[in-house]
Amino acid sequence: MPGPRLTSALTFLLLLPLLGGCSPDERPGPVPLRTVKLAPVARLAPQAPLLPGLVRQPHSSALAFENGGRVLRVAVDVGARVAAGQLLAEQDAEPARLRLAQASARVQAARVELDQRRAGQRRARQLFADGNLAKAELEAADAALGAAQAQQGGAEAELDLARRALAQTRLIAPFAGQIVLRAPQPLRLVGAGETLFGLQADGERQVVVQVPAALAQGLAPGTQAQAYATRDGAPLPLRLVGLSPRAEQGLLQEAVFALDQQAPALPSGSLLDVRLPLPAQAQLAVPLGALLPGQSGSAGQVYVYQPETQQVKPRPVTVAALQQGQALIASGLAEGDQIVVAGAAFLRAGEHVLPYRPGTVLTGE
């Protein structure tokens, strides 16, 4: 059996290779610089973008019965042209007639009550003047007369409402135009305010366009634009009549254009390609891959390379429009600035980088 000294020696020999891997002279090497692709900021001649536009009729209405009930008659169908005041549909009027009779009876009862209270007040005043009635009883007669007057006023208001409800059982066209929607079927129960017809007036048509906020800054009432119903079709002249001051989520503003009345008839809901005017001068542009999201819809940021320190720094920019895979820059950059066009998403502010040079690997430089 080996002794203690022999066992210790064997253990040391077994651990010797492991101890050799822990040399104090080995230290981690320097972290390699991230390689990024750079490109100078240049100018790009802007082209007017094609934006989708929706044709609408500014004078349109969704028509419904004011009160719920059963539809007895539908007088028009989709596509029909109607005149102002023309009957469109009728409800079962019997419930409304019964409510009108009930309201009339309440008015008659209220008038009888009021006459009695007036006569009672006159008697009470005479008795009070003769000293045969207490003041409290006179005040009670006055209060009863006031209550009767209020009751009659309420009954007459209910009568007016009942008359209105009876009149509203006939759905009438509020203006001349064309029926573009018909929902009701005869004998169907409909709810109050449920849309039954869509009516559009003839005449002026409009085109609604959602315009990028930066591009909308150059628009003003009267601005001319062009619309295309088909790819190869003739342009349709447009004139700006309204621009919303609100940008939805900082991205888009609603612009309303008047369509020339000489243009071919286009149904509401048609989609057009709208080309807006743009300034003729070239604008600074960067590839979309260089643009990172900013704090608002028209803002973003890019990483600008500092050759003196070999660092990159983020810089906020304002985007005017998108064109041919490029972002047109309204502010934030200068022509010739070196920006990161590939790998920007992985960078940190102030990080040292190594510009990518295609010839490095091929020539061994």
174: domain CATH number is 2.40.50.100
**Domain assignment of residue 12, yes or no:** no
Structural domains in the chain (count): 4
Residue 212 structural domain? 50-57+204-275
Classify residue 217: in a domain, yes or no. yes
pLDDT tens per residue across span 250-305: 778 999 999 887 777 788 888 999 988 865 567 888 888 888 887 655 678 899 99
Same structural domain, 98 and 160: yes
**Residue 313: CB atoms within 10 Å:** 15
Same domain, 290 and 312: yes
Which pTM value belongs to this model?
A: 0.56
Q: What is the pLDDT of residues 145-203, one digit of tens each?
A: 999 999 999 999 999 999 999 999 999 999 999 999 998 788 889 999 999 999 998 87
Whether residues 194 and 232 fall in one domain: no
Q: Residue range 11-33: average pLDDT?
A: 56
Bigger pLDDT: 146 vs 356: 146
Position 297 scores a pLDDT of: 56
The burial of 72, by beta-carbon neighbours within 10 Å (0-12 exposed, 13-18 middle, 19 or more buried), is given as middle
Statement: residue 96 has pLDDT above 90: yes
On whether both 131 and 148 belong to a single domain, the answer is yes
CA distance 7 to 285: 77
336 assigned to some structural domain: yes
Same structural domain, 359 and 294:
yes
- Asked if residue 303 and residue 215 are part of one domain, the reply reads no
DSSP 147-166: HHHHHHHHHHHHHHHHHHHH
Residue where one domain finishes, among candidates 149, 167, 185: 167
**Domain assignment of residue 14, yes or no:** no
Q: How far is CA 228 from CA 54, 200, 212, 221, 333, in A?
A: 12, 23, 19, 21, 35
Q: Is residue 29 included in any domain, yes or no?
A: no
